Amino acid sequence: MSQGTIYLVLASPRSSLFKDLIEYYGLDIKISDTSDPEFAKTFPLKRTPSFKGPDFILHEALAIFVYITSLIPQNHGLYGSSNLDYAQTIKWLSFTGSEIISGLVQALYPLIGNLPYSKDGVDQALKDLESYIAVYETQLKQTKYLVGDKITLADLFAVQSIRWGLQYIWDVNWLKQHPLIDAWFKDVTQHPIIVKSLGDFKPLQKALPNAPPKGN
């Protein structure tokens, strides 16, 4: 019996890892998108990711990660190997899904016309993002990965948002200024679960300037 349907916007850093997990572990979950009429009917807020199980629904990326990874039979180590590792993994998933992705939205959307533009607003959002990225960096000075010496779901999810940033507001020069993030990103994106989608990723040579969107 099908394990459910997940609704994703694949370009989004909150959605992209779900497809890789489902395919890598061969889960019987249908991948659908926001054009599916069932999506708007079942999830009136129309936010992704959203999941429809056999007799329940879930929204919130964090909850969907916990549920979907519970369907993977083998001891996959995606949350590390102790209760504390589990808590740390959840901490990083939450931090990435809230602070980092919301920060990226605040910096990027005004540049592409999805939010009203103000130069100061974008500068502030970029500054806020630097302080969030510094939280990853502080951890990566202490441990090879976000939760100790092995890659967990925390890293696999976090690099989705770095990838999104590197398609718009950060570039090769930004990576040079963040050597720990650069090395960690290159390493994590070779992990077997995500290498197919991110292994060949190339960051922008030149990020979008802090300027009103073209056409305005």
Ligand X SMILES: N[C@@H](CCC(=O)N[C@@H](CS)C(=O)NCC(=O)O)C(=O)O
Min. distance of Cβ 101 from ligand X in angstroms? Answer: 7
Task: Tell me: does residue 48 bind ligand X (CB under 6 A).
Answer: yes
- Smaller CB distance to ligand X: residue 17 or 126? 17
Task: Kindly write down the DSSP assignment for every residue of 90-105, as one continuous string.
Answer: HHHHHHIIIIIHHHHH
Part of the chain binding ligand X (CB under 6 A), chosen from 6-14, 74-82, 135-143, 162-170: 6-14
Part of the chain binding ligand X (CB under 6 A), chosen from 20-28, 42-50, 117-125, 135-143: 42-50
Return d(Cα 213, Cα 216) in angstroms, integer.
6
3-state class of 139 per DSSP? helix
Min. distance of Cβ 202 from ligand X in angstroms? Answer: 23
Based on its alpha-carbon atoms, the radius of gyration of the chain, rounded to whole angstroms, reads: 18
Alpha-carbon torsion, ordered 192, 194, 195, 199, to 10 deg: -150
Return d(Cα 89, Cα 37) in angstroms, integer.
34
Residue in 197, 161, 162 with CA at minimum distance from that of residue 181: 162
Stretch 80-99 residues interacting with ligand X (CB under 6 A): 97
Task: Tell me: does residue 163 bind ligand X (CB under 6 A).
Answer: no
Part of the chain binding ligand X (CB under 6 A), chosen from 9-17, 81-89, 165-173, 181-189: 9-17
Task: Tell me: does residue 60 bind ligand X (CB under 6 A).
Answer: yes
Chain residues that interact with ligand X, rule: CB under 6 A: 9, 12, 14, 46-49, 60-61, 97
